[in-house]
Amino acid sequence: MTVDRHAPEPARSKLLADLPAASGIAHGFFSRSGGVSEGIYRGLNVGLGSKDDRARVLENRARVSRWFGLDADRLVTVHQVHSPRVHVATTGNRGERPEADALVTQTPGLVLGVLSADCGPILFADPEARIIGAAHAGWRGALDGVLESTVAAMQQLGARPERIVAALGPSISQTNYEVGPEFRERFVRDDPAHEAYFVASPTPGHAMFDLRQFTLDRLQAAGLNAEMLADCTYADENAWFSYRRATHRNEPDYGRQISAIAIKED
């Protein structure tokens, strides 16, 4: 294995970065930089479901854990299936990968990670209660309530919505997200107000969908103080993996980046 000696250096949210130091909460939206994968997976590909060399993927995941100052087995991820299901991570179940699209915990020393390659990665924190969460929200998950489910699961642990801050990480922008008429009809049928998230496409009958604004609006409607990072995964090939870009190029597979959050151990 050819080892890249450059350590990962993730993007960060100002909201989360400005949390009181006493909360012990650290986070990062990790890009492609600082990994050992090669070819179409070049960089920090953490996707166990990709066809990348497994040893490289495991090393990349270990690098994410080490960025938080923790061992590789402290990184907790799930088998993402575009659902509203939430996994409550504990020390005892950290090695499990249930089918879910969000994780929450109040346990220090665990790194909650969600993978993405155009979908929205969202990190959550209640600094007072020291409860954190991470969610993967594509259009289906966002529409079906994965964000609200994450907040509800955090509340079950003792968090309060008015104290939760949330940040939507790098994801696909409206400029690069063209959808067909049946997609638009599904959203508008759910709520006519959803029409606001679509603008005309150069392709007749199609539209450009604003997944990022849709996600941010739902976070704020849930009572959270929320923001989003401006990076578009499709547009910046050097920084981010993109499922849609790989599909448009007829590439055989694609890498996944990770967004992660942890509570430091006392």
Would you place residue 102 in the very low, low, confident or very high pLDDT band (cuts 50, 70, 90)?
very high
Average pLDDT (226-245) is 98
Residue closest to 66 by CA, chosen among 19, 39, 26: 26
Task: Go through 215-244 and write b for each residue having 16 or more CB atoms within 10 A of its CB, e for each that does not.
Answer: bbbbbeebebebbbbebbbbeeeebbbbbb
End-to-end CA separation in angstroms for the chain: 36
The mean predicted confidence, pLDDT, of the chain is: 96
pLDDT digits (tens, 9 = 90+) for 1-47: 344 446 788 999 999 999 999 999 999 999 999 999 999 999 999 99
What local confidence, expressed as pLDDT, does residue 266 receive? 79
Average pLDDT (261-265) is 96
What local confidence, expressed as pLDDT, does residue 6 receive? 61
Instruction: Name the CATH superfamily, with its identifier, for domain 14-170+226-263.
Output: CNF1/YfiH-like putative cysteine hydrolases (3.60.140.10)
The Cα–Cα gap between 42 and 255 comes to 8
- The sign of the CA dihedral 145, 221, 244, 86 is negative
pLDDT digits (tens, 9 = 90+) for 143-185: 999 999 999 999 999 999 999 999 999 999 999 999 999 999 9
Average pLDDT (75-79) is 98
Average pLDDT (92-121) is 98
Strands (E), 68-130: 75-76, 86-88, 102-105, 111-116, 120-126
- The sign of the CA dihedral 15, 231, 109, 85 is positive
Domain parsing of the chain, residue ranges = 14-170+226-263
* Alpha-carbon separation of residue 79 from 98, 148, 162, 262 (angstroms): 6, 19, 29, 19
CB 251 within 8 A of CB 40: yes
